[in-house]
Amino acid sequence: MALIQLSFKSKALLMQTSVNIILPMGMNRIDFETMNDLSYEHKKFPVLYLLHGATDDHSCWLRLSSIERYAEDKGIAVVMPNADMSAYSDMVHGHKYWTYISEELPQFIQAAFPISDRREDTFAAGLSMGGYGAFKLALRHPERFAAAASLSGAVDLVGSLKKGERGLFDNVFGDPEKVDNSENDIFFLTKRLSESTGLKPKLFLACGTEDFLYEDNVKFRDYAAELDVELTYEEGPGGHEWQYWDTNIQRVLDWLPLNINKVLS
């Protein structure tokens, strides 16, 4: 695997931003006695957009989990962008992080690196705020994402806003009443998906039973069941902590519908 730590000027954000990328090397087998073959296979790799939580940044998955080692075993590229405290949204008072994450970043990554643009090779996952962002990516763009996973996700962000738990997201949404039944409402997006006759991404939801977001995750699990939306749900001991996320990102990678034999040549 190669680790690429990249900064570039985003047109959507109107500023410099950073992204970490774990990239499979695709190296052919080498004859170590002669070292004759140092070529690389020309393949386009499946990709996981892996999103950080609130108060974290693009470095946290690398620093606090073993995602690089896990991704190497699967032969999948992992893209870890920075999104500040944006809830992966176009902020009312701030930057257009939804436009950046959902449009500009994938286009840039596919143009700059050997990353597949096929739906069946494209996935999203994240923790906490990033779990919300991952589901939002897949639910708003089911034609582009084959699967999404949320770990300890803030999936009922609307419910939290209604209860007055605005705090960190005041600058993101402004009036909380405008979030309900909007493109930023995971429950609204899930209902719309259930009524659609189009493509439907696979969804994976996991949360620790000691996590402060546990009840919100159970609520979403039950809502998806009511709508007959396909959802893989797992729970177990754990809080809102990296030990839980490091363990369960491995479960996510095992669950993803990867077929490395079909990557583009």
Output the tens digit of pLDDT for each of the chain's 265 residues: 899 999 999 999 999 999 999 999 864 444 445 445 555 566 899 999 999 999 999 999 999 999 999 999 999 999 999 999 999 999 999 999 999 999 999 999 999 999 999 999 999 999 999 999 999 999 999 999 999 999 999 999 888 887 765 566 778 888 778 888 999 999 999 999 999 999 999 999 999 999 999 999 999 999 999 999 999 999 999 999 999 999 999 999 999 999 755 544 4
pLDDT of residue 166: 54
List residues bridging with 77 in a β-sheet: 47
Query: Which residue from 8, 18, 25 is spatially nearest to 59, judged by alpha carbons?
Result: 18
pLDDT of residue 174: 80
State both tokens at 65. Answer: 């989990």
What Å distances lie between residue 239 and 37, 118, 242, CA to CA?
48, 35, 9
Helix (H, G, I), strand (E, B) or coil at 250: helix
Q: Name 43's Cβ contacts closer than 8 Å, sequence gap at least 6.
A: 26, 114, 263, 264, 265
| Backbone Cα Rg of the chain | 18
Polymer length of the chain: 265
Whose tokens are 């090779």? That residue is 121
Whose tokens are 């090397």? That residue is 25
**Cβ neighbours, 10 Å, residue 103:** 14
Q: Name 69's Cβ contacts closer than 8 Å, sequence gap at least 6.
A: none
Tens of pLDDT, residue by residue over 207-232, are 999 999 999 999 999 999 999 999 99
Homologous superfamily, domain 2-26+40-257: Alpha/Beta hydrolase fold, catalytic domain (3.40.50.1820)
